[in-house]
């Protein structure tokens, strides 16, 4: 050790660093949210942004479990759903008047938080006794139980039609009638920024730190006198609460909730979102939520097989980029500022070329197959090209890029291995 004068205080980040790392991103995020309405978005844009906002909160809540707590849940939509359902019922109570009549719809997500958290406390009391794979299986079983059970209690879950309500009742706050999309935008912006800040603040609390410790080494946490089960339970409950908050946002946005919202499909979607975004970064799930919501609404217009692309992207990220899109973005950012940026850039462009080539072949393969399977004799016609499954040119256009791309990628990895460590 050359630097013996290193102390706790000298290791601490300077206030400029603190500002840059802890406050600036939120200021930028807040500024973007404030600026968006000035571009006068269309109705579809608003709808898309509201969906993004819901998923940002949901994915961050999910990552509180997976990324920070190391708990892989296949049924987190249960808490999203419980929060949402409570809000739907509350919306109808507001409509009925009485004591509830004085409750503004704007604050319904608070109830969503309560609903999600309470259900997570109850279910977490037995499910968080385990971690890892067992926890994952339990979460799946509980989710199936609740989803199947939801159809038995129509007065609570509304059966197939679900429960609907009207968000425009109750007193106005901040001058928002909650009717038009632009009013809902402010509602979404408010709750998104509030929950993002709250969840970031949570990662800096002792409990947030402990949950990371429990993820990495539960035994040592036990040695220093904490109960890992209790920590998991607490984190699980808070995460369930934020999921419920997202459910409340969704309830106000769509004014309807069906039991489908509790099923394994949204649970799987939020898992994919958080993981694709990058679970080791706080911002990862935000990126994942924005990207995947955008993809799900845009790509489903272009291709029938978009779920296949989604699955493929997920598997590839699990295999080759376990730190997700955030990992790629931050890795790229650090790389171009690092010492041998030219070398890295060259390597990345070769890899990018290989990936793009394979992607071209793959897209043609998938799109031609989809049309072949539909059996309407339709051809895949990108940019005025014409691909049919009976044409040999199509198969050349599929396999040549895939093989060439694979070869380029192989070259790139071999180079990496030859480089001195």
Partner 1 sequence: METIVFALLNGVIYGLLLFMLSSGLTLIFSMMGVLNFAHASFYMLGAYFAYTIMGATSFWLALFIAPILVGLVGAVVERYGLRKVHANGHVAELLFTFGLAYLIEEIVKIVYGKTAVDYKIPSLLDFPAFTIYGASFPAYRMFMLFIAIGMLVGLWFLLKKTRAGLIIQAALTHPHMVGHLGHNVPLIFMTVFGIGCALAGLAGVIAGNIFVTDPAMAVLMGPIVFVVVVVGGIGSLEGAFLASILIGLLQNFAVGISASFADIFWFTGLSPTSEIGDITVSSLAPVLPFLLLVLMLIFRPRGLMGEQEL
Kindly state the tokens that stand for 310: 């989604």
What is the spatial distance between Cα 263 and Cα 245, in angstroms, rounded to a whole number?
17
- Between 369 and 388, CB nearer to partner 1: 369
Give the shortest CB-370-to-partner 1 separation in angstroms.
Answer: 6
Total residues belonging to the chain: 421
Binding residue (CB under 8 A) for partner 1 from 145, 336, 396, 400: 145
Kindly state the tokens that stand for 150: 């939801």
Number of residues binding to partner 1, judged by CB under 8 A: 45
Task: Give the ranges where 257-339 is alpha helix by DSSP (H).
Answer: 264-277, 284-302, 306-320, 324-337
Q: Is residue 177 classed as helix, strand or coil in its secondary structure?
A: coil
What is the spatial distance between Cα 149 and Cα 143, in angstroms, rounded to a whole number?
10
Q: Is residue 173 classed as helix, strand or coil in its secondary structure?
A: strand
Binding residue (CB under 8 A) for partner 1 from 120, 138, 397, 398: 138
The answer for residues whose C-beta is within 8 angstroms of residue 305's C-beta and 6 or more apart is: 366, 367, 370
Q: Is residue 163 classed as helix, strand or coil in its secondary structure?
A: strand
Q: Is residue 209 a contact residue for partner 1 (CB under 8 A)?
A: no
Q: Is residue 126 a contact residue for partner 1 (CB under 8 A)?
A: yes
- Between 137 and 353, CB nearer to partner 1: 137
The answer for residues whose C-beta is within 8 angstroms of residue 219's C-beta and 6 or more apart is: none
Q: Is residue 23 a contact residue for partner 1 (CB under 8 A)?
A: no
Give the shortest CB-382-to-partner 1 separation in angstroms.
Answer: 18
76 conformational bin, left if phi > 0, alpha if psi -120 to 50, beta if neither: alpha
The residue range among 57-65, 87-95, 226-234, 305-313 that interacts with partner 1, by the rule CB under 8 A, is 305-313
- The number of C-alpha atoms within 13 Å of 215 and in the hemisphere containing its C-beta is 20
- Between 101 and 311, CB nearer to partner 1: 311
In the numeric block, the tokens 């429960």 are attached to 163
Q: Is residue 121 a contact residue for partner 1 (CB under 8 A)?
A: no
Q: Is residue 310 a contact residue for partner 1 (CB under 8 A)?
A: yes
Q: Is residue 366 a contact residue for partner 1 (CB under 8 A)?
A: yes
- Between 151 and 333, CB nearer to partner 1: 151
Q: Is residue 328 a contact residue for partner 1 (CB under 8 A)?
A: no
- Between 169 and 263, CB nearer to partner 1: 263
- Enumerate residues 59-98 that contact partner 1 by CB under 8 A: 66, 70, 72, 74
Q: Is residue 382 a contact residue for partner 1 (CB under 8 A)?
A: no
Q: Is residue 421 a contact residue for partner 1 (CB under 8 A)?
A: no
- Between 42 and 125, CB nearer to partner 1: 125
Task: Give the ranges where 72-131 is alpha helix by DSSP (H).
Answer: 77-96, 108-127
The residue range among 89-97, 104-112, 218-226, 369-377 that interacts with partner 1, by the rule CB under 8 A, is 369-377
What is the spatial distance between Cα 344 and Cα 303, in angstroms, rounded to a whole number?
34
Q: What is the largest CA-CA distance in the chain?
A: 76
Binding residue (CB under 8 A) for partner 1 from 97, 171, 311, 382: 311
Q: Is residue 7 a contact residue for partner 1 (CB under 8 A)?
A: no
What is the spatial distance between Cα 144 and Cα 194, in angstroms, rounded to a whole number?
31
Binding site for partner 1 (CB under 8 A): 66, 70, 72, 74, 126-127, 129-130, 132-134, 136-138, 140-142, 144-145, 148-149, 152-155, 264, 268, 271-272, 275, 305, 307-308, 310-312, 314-315, 318-319, 322, 366, 369-370, 373
């Amino acid at each position: 050790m050359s630097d013996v004068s290193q102390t706790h205080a000298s290791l601490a980040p300077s206030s400029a660093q603190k500002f840059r790392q802890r406050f600036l991103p939120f200021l930028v995020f807040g500024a973007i949210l404030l600026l968006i309405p000035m571009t006068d978005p269309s109705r579809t844009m608003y709808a898309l942004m509201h969906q993004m906002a819901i998923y940002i909160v949901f994915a961050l809540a999910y990552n509180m479990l997976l990324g920070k707590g190391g708990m892989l849940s296949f049924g987190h939509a249960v808490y999203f759903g419980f929060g949402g359902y409570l809000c739907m019922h509350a919306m109808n109570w507001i409509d009925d008047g009485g004591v509830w009549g004085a409750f503004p719809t704007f604050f319904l997500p608070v109830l969503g938080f309560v609903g999600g958290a309470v259900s997570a406390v109850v279910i977490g009391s037995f499910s968080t006794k385990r971690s890892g794979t067992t926890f994952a299986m339990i979460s799946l079983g509980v989710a199936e139980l609740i989803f199947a059970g939801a159809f038995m209690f129509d007065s609570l879950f509304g059966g197939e039609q679900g429960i609907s309500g009207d968000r425009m009742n109750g007193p106005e706050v901040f001058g928002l009638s909650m009717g038009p999309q632009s009013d809902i935008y402010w509602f979404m912006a408010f709750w998104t920024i509030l929950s993002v800040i709250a969840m970031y603040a949570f990662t800096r609390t002792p409990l947030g730190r402990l949950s990371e410790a429990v993820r990495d080494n539960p035994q040592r946490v036990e040695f220093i006198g904490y109960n890992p089960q209790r920590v998991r339970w607490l984190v699980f409950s808070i995460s369930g609460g934020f999921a419920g908050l997202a459910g409340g946002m969704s309830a106000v946005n769509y004014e309807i909730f069906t039991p489908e919202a509790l099923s394994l499909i949204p649970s799987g979607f939020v898992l994919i979102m958080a993981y694709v975004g990058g679970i080791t970064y706080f911002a990862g799930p935000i990126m994942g939520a924005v990207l995947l919501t955008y993809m799900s609404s845009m790509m489903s217009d272009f291709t029938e097989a978009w779920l296949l692309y989604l699955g493929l992207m997920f598997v590839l990220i699990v295999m080759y980029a376990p730190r997700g899109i955030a990992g790629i973005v931050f890795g790229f950012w650090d790389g171009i500022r690092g010492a041998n940026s030219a070398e890295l850039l060259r390597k990345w462009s070769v890899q990018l070329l290989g990936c793009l080539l394979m992607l071209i072949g793959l897209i043609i393969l998938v799109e031609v197959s989809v049309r072949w399977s539909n059996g309407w004799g339709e051809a895949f016609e990108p940019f005025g090209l014409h691909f049919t499954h009976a044409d040999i040119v199509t198969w050349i256009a599929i396999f040549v890029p895939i093989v060439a791309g694979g070869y380029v990628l192989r070259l790139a990895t071999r180079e990496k291995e030859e480089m001195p460590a």
